[in-house]
């Protein structure tokens, strides 16, 4: 059974899958098209990806106008930020933060036009995402992680960044 919570950003969903625990560990189903069809009836995923990050790596804040994502953490703990970058949205330029981990198994459904960034809090993180469109170079936006318009309270002040994330292009 899926527990779905609406967030402060229009179309952004926090999904809490059921976790089955016993003396051996735990089992969590992270996607079943029939169950998710009830939650996301008009969504069709076409590509799955994952990234591996070391502690203090900050990836993002990235997005584009055509790709929705379902993200989850396979291993580790992250501080995740989602920013609404849709000019016609009632929640335009609002953001929300989440603590996601293998332990809580929380997922985020991030609608098209929203940017996502994650900071690896644990020594290692495996970040999984399903996408509704295939990767297309050159169409993504990057909002700088420390953009003063948002004043995001990241848990660290000196993250490890790529050149793209250091500069931003928004």
The catalytic residues are 62, 129
H/E stretch holding 69 reads strand 69-75
* CA dihedral sign of residues 147, 148, 153, 157: positive
Rounded alpha-carbon distances, angstroms, from residue 161 to 36, 63, 80 = 33, 17, 15
How far is C-alpha 142 from the chain's CA centre?
A: 14
R_g over Cα of the chain: 16
- Distance CA(94)–CA(102), nearest Å, equals 26
């Amino acid at each position: 059974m899926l527990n779905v919570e609406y967030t402060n950003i229009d179309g952004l969903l926090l999904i809490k899958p059921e976790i089955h625990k016993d003396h051996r560990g735990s089992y969590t189903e992270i996607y079943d098209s029939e169950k998710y069809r009830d939650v996301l009836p008009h969504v069709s995923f076409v590509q799955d990806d994952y990234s591996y990050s070391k502690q203090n790596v900050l990836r993002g804040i990235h997005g584009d106008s055509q790709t929705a994502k379902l993200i989850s953490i396979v291993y580790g703990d992250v501080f995740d930020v989602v920013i609404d970058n849709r000019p016609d949205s009632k929640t335009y330029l609002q953001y929300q933060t989440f603590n996601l981990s293998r332990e809580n198994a929380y997922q985020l459904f991030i609608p098209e036009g929203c940017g996502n960034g994650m900071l690896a809090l644990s020594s290692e993180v495996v970040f999984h995402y399903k996408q509704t469109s295939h990767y297309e170079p050159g169409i993504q936006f990057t909002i700088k992680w420390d953009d003063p318009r948002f004043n995001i309270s990241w848990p660290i002040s000196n993250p490890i960044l790529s050149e793209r994330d250091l500069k931003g292009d928004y």
